[in-house]
Structure formats: structure tokens, C-alpha cells
Amino acid sequence: MKSRSLHTTDVLVIGGGLAGERCAMEAAAEGLEVTILSLVPPRRSHSCAAQGGMQAALGNCVKGEGDNPDWHFLDTVRGSDWGADQEVARMFVDEAPRAVRELAHFGVPWTRVRPGNNDYFVKGEPVVIREAEENAGLLMHRDFGGTAKWRTCYASAGTGHAILYAIDSEVIRLGIDVWDRCEALALIHENGRCWGAIARSLRTGELTAVLANATVIATGGYGRIYGKYTTNATINYGSGAAIAFETGVVPLGNMEAVQFHPTGLWPSGILVTEGCRGDGGHLLNRELERFMVQREPEKQELASRDVVSRHMMDQIQNGNGAESGYGPHLWLDLRHLGAEHLHQKLREVVDICRDFAGIDPAQSMIPVRPTQHYSMGGIRVNKDGQAYGMAGLFAAGEAACWDMHGFNRLGGNSLAETIVAGRLVGRSVAAFARREKLDTGTALARRFLDACEADIAAWLARTGDGPRIYAIQSRMAEIMINKVGIFRNGPDLEQAVSELQDCLHDCGHAVLHSKGPGMNPELSDALRLQGMIRLAITIASGALARTESRGAHFRRDFPLRDDRHWLKRTLARWPADTTSPRLSYEPVGLIDLPPGHRGYGKAEWIELGKSLEEYNQSVGTLQDAEGRLASEEPQGSRMSWGAWKSVATTTGTSK
């Protein structure tokens, strides 16, 4: 490899989606030089695919009356099945209303309250709701799963698209340097300090050592380890988590917490937004029965995603799925909403159904099936977004385990997190970069450049009849969907770990067809493959070790949530020269809202067996022992202790 260079910047952001760009904006607004690396032009990032909306407790419409951050906190912690860091959840819900209003200032065309009579469907029944004249033009909300109030702000069904274009316009206005078609291969680090990353141009193959005071990973999720069984874009390899994992120092948190979205368009797997069910869509089995009415009488189709996905798979596995040439599926029925509603509020759904299934949802039912969608796990960070064990490394968005989601994310909380975390983590990044000096030599950069060059050369030099990388990828995906999916059990998970180890072994002997060192998609995929398999092994290993069911992690052989033994977060590290991850555990964080029933799903669990005071007393010490770095403010300083009690005791809700 001949082409290599050196670049310095104050802040390096790896990932050009919403979390990365919003974080970059905060640093640039402080006068810092910022460089963004992005696999694609930012407006083509996967953030653009978010359809349904962004949660923020504004309470602007009748069905959202009385909403406030305390309600949002309650819903988020319950949705997480008590796996969330409750201080981070509190920070998030308090900041979300400011973030969504700021987006309006940036030009996001939010759907607004229309005064007078409006037609809706609530729990399958048509209703007429009169919106007040004084609320005309305020941000409107739609219903989403697992919430007590209508809280999700939206821009028709193209919310992610609208927000991404607005944020990217601000990035351009601020003059932030964006390197698109560029990928980070490794972090530059030494003695617990991150100094940037090695970047590879996908156009030319050139390697650049980017040295930075502060480095942010915001590369999104890892859905492509599930191959075609995901709603994620083809760029969602989990590469950010993989390069952090490669350090052997930075842990990944709760990797076994994998969300499956109930309504992936079948068989393509493209997301059909939760907004469809929020607006009154019905889930039907092969007999055209609304099975969710019997399974979840209170929430029906709007229970949390983990609960709805399990009920759907139960229907399919019990022979109640509709048959197709691609296997059984269920139906999402929007016909009763009418063409006008669909074209005004769910326009992207109409386009997706037309382009990828050849149907008009105003006339035909939509074939759907649960599909891998989101990764609650990621790079473990403190409340400032700084990685455990690695000063100068930050993470935000889906790539991070900031951990407001715990073991299940509520719909609308992810899009909100990208902006809220971008704002808050971005401020911490800016403060760190202003405070610290770029105090490292070029020898360190050359060492990591040499290692990346050697890895590339090894792939290009390998010859013979070894396995092909795409066959290994496909085998990994089949293992994950069949044995590390919605329903899990010990024997399947043991087999998954063993078979994934075989994939890792084969990766070390795989041979490329294409030998070009420059623009070479096969080489690019090969360089990602080992990291993807390691993530897959870590997910399966964490799921095998966690002998309980919590949120999206459901063990048929351990069906109860076990707070006595498992109210803790999994941390995984992959030390150098080892073939498997090392797992350890820490408390989930300070607990304000005590564990209980979520309001949907199973109403049985194993009690904590100790007081919250006793649990909370050791949280800081145990997390520090696992590598948590000091935050700008003391742990617990952002908690609003007991504030949730004022809404938890309210009788009835606006639903």
C-alpha cells in the first residue's frame, strides 16, 4: 500500500447520520475544527429511513393533554424493562422538548395541530376528537407503542428524512469538513487514550491517519449481521462498535439486547413504520382475526415492540400465519384509514408498499413479519458519552450504550435520542477538546497505519480454494436469525456460539476474487467481516449467559424477568489474542422508579430481594471498577428523585 497521509483536527466524528452530525454541530459551534467520516454522503445515511416520529413530551393535542417529562420517563423506564440507566433516561426526557423545538427552528416541517374535529382510530374504533383553536399550529403528536400519552412528533411518515436534511444543512452552514465514501478501520490509541482513527477512502483505497483531541463514534447499528433479516440499510455493519471492541479495552454493553420490529414488509424486510399502528392500523392473522385484542387487551397493537413481536411470532409458529412463496407472514391492515389519510400522514408507507410489494395499502393488506431492527447494545459510555476505559473516545446514538433504552427501545425514542444525545454528548466532546491538547507523536499514527496496511496486504495476498466472504456472511446471518432471534433457548445459543466460532475461523482463511487495492467493494466487506462475526459471537454469548427474559431478550427456558440475579448490565471485552469475549457485569445505574409491571406483557417476575437504597449504594463503585470515567457532573446530579410519583398515581390516561 503506497498511498497514505496524515491529518489533524480538533474533533473527529465517525459516522455522518443524525447523531454524528448533531454532535459535530455542537463542537463546531464552539469554534473547534471538526472532521466527519461517512460511508455515504450524509443525506443517504440510515437516519433518513426513520419514518414514524420523535418522542417529546409537549402535550399539544387532546390525546397528549397533561403530558410532561415525568410521563415520558415512566414510559421509557417501563419500556426498557428496567434495564435503562434511569439518570440518562431523565436527562433524555428533560432535553427532548427543547430538541424538537430547535428542529422546527432549523426548518423541519412538523405536522401541526389542526383545530376543530379530526377523525382518528383508537383501539380499532373510529373516534372524532375536537382539537382546541388555541392549539392551532402547534406540533402535533401521534400514538406509539408503550406510551401513556400521544407524544410522537412527526412530519408525515418522512420524519427522519426531514430532520436529516435540516441537520445536514446546518453542518454545511457551519463549514464542517465531511469526508464521504470513507471508513474508519481502527482507532489510534495508547495507554487508555484515544487519539483518532485510521481512515480508508472507499474511492481510492488511500489510508489516512486522522489525529484528533476527541473522537466520536456514531456509526449506527449492526443489523447487517442478520443479513437480509433486518430493516437496516446495507451500510449498517456495526463497524464503529467493532473498532472500539478491537482495542481490547473498551467494553460493549448489553449486546444481547436486540430489537425486532413487528412490521417489516415481507419478504423484503423494509420497515413499515409503527405510525401505521399508532394511526389505527390492525394486525391480522390468516383468519383475519385481530389477535392482539385478546393477547394485550389494554395496549392491543400498541404494546411495546418486543411484546408485539413475540405475539406475532407465536401466531406464525402456531400455524396462524398466511402462507406465501417466501414463508408465512401476518397482515397489517390500513384499508379502513382511507386513501386520504394514508397519502397525507403515511405517504412513505404508500410509496414503499407500491415500490417493493406492488400493492396499494388503501386497497390491500400489507404482508408483514417481525424483523431485526435496532441494537440497544453498543459502546458502553458514561452519561457524558465518554467510553469506559478510553479517555478521548465518545459515542452517541445507536452505536452507543448510553443506555436510556435498556432491553427494549420505545418507538420514537431512537430518533429523539440521535438529536438529544448529539446535543448533550456534543457539548461534552467540545469541552473535552477545548481542555485537552493533541499531545501525541506521528510514530503512534505510523504504527496503526502499518497494521492496517498489513491487514489489507494479507487479504490481497491470500490465494487458494478458501471460503468466500459472502458465503461466511450468509451463514452468520442464518445462525443469528434462527438461533439468536426473537425466541431463544440454551441449546440453540450454545450451537450458535460454536457455529459462529467456525465462521470466525473460516474468516481467517477466506480468499478474495478481486485483488485490487483501491476501489474494491469485496475488500471493503472483507475488512469488516471479522468485526461483524465478533459482534455476533458476543450477542450470542451474552444471550446464553443471561438466564432470564428481559425486554427483547426472551429465553423460553427462563421466561421470567429475574431482578434478583439479573438487574445488571452485561459488559463484553475482547482481549488481544483471544478467540472469545470476556463478560462482566455492572449495575444498571441508580434506580428511582422501582422494578414492577410494565403495563403490558407478562405480569410475573422475580423480585429484586433488596431495598433500592442498598442497590444504589454500590452503583458508583461497581461501575468505576468496570472502567467508567468521571463525568462533568457527579453521578445522580440529573435525577429528579420521585418526580414520577405524581403521574404514576394518576387514575386513567388520555388514551
Considering the domain architecture, whether residues 360 and 456 belong to the same structural domain is answered as: no
Residue 28 lies in a domain: no
498: CATH: 1.20.58.100
360: CATH: 3.90.700.10
Residue 566 lies in a domain: yes
Q: How far is CA 36 from CA 189, 384, 420, 445, in A?
A: 19, 20, 19, 18
- Domain containing residue 272: 263-371
Rg (C-alpha) for the chain, rounded Å, is: 24
- Residue 42 has a pLDDT of 94
Check if 277 is active-site: yes
- Residue 650 has a pLDDT of 59
**Locus of grid cell 431482578:** 563
Residue 607 lies in a domain: yes
- Residue 651 has a pLDDT of 42
Which ranges of the chain have pLDDT less than 50? 1, 651-655
Of the listed 46, 90, 261, 329, which one is catalytic? Answer: 261
- Residue 156 has a pLDDT of 86
Considering the domain architecture, whether residues 479 and 617 belong to the same structural domain is answered as: yes
**DSSP per position, 171-231:** HHHTT-EEEESEEEEEEEEETTEEEEEEEEETTT--EEEEEEEEEEE-----GGGGTTSBS
Considering the domain architecture, whether residues 496 and 594 belong to the same structural domain is answered as: yes
How far is it, in rounded angstroms, from Cα 67 to Cα 412? 15
* Cβ(240)–Cβ(66) below 8 Å: no
Tens of pLDDT, residues 399-458: 999 999 999 999 999 999 999 999 999 999 999 999 999 999 899 999 999 999 999 999
Rounded to 10 deg, the angle between the 69-79 and 86-106 helix axes is: 120
How far is it, in rounded angstroms, from Cα 255 to Cα 216? 20
- Residue 372 has a pLDDT of 96
- Residue 394 has a pLDDT of 98
Taking the alpha carbons at both ends of the chain, their separation in whole angstroms is: 62
- Residue 654 has a pLDDT of 39
How far is it, in rounded angstroms, from Cα 645 to Cα 429? 34
Hey, is 281 helix, strand or coil?
coil
How far is it, in rounded angstroms, from Cα 613 to Cα 604? 23
Of the listed 277, 310, 528, 638, which one is catalytic? Answer: 277
Domain boundary among 371, 389, 422: 371
How far is it, in rounded angstroms, from Cα 562 to Cα 550? 8
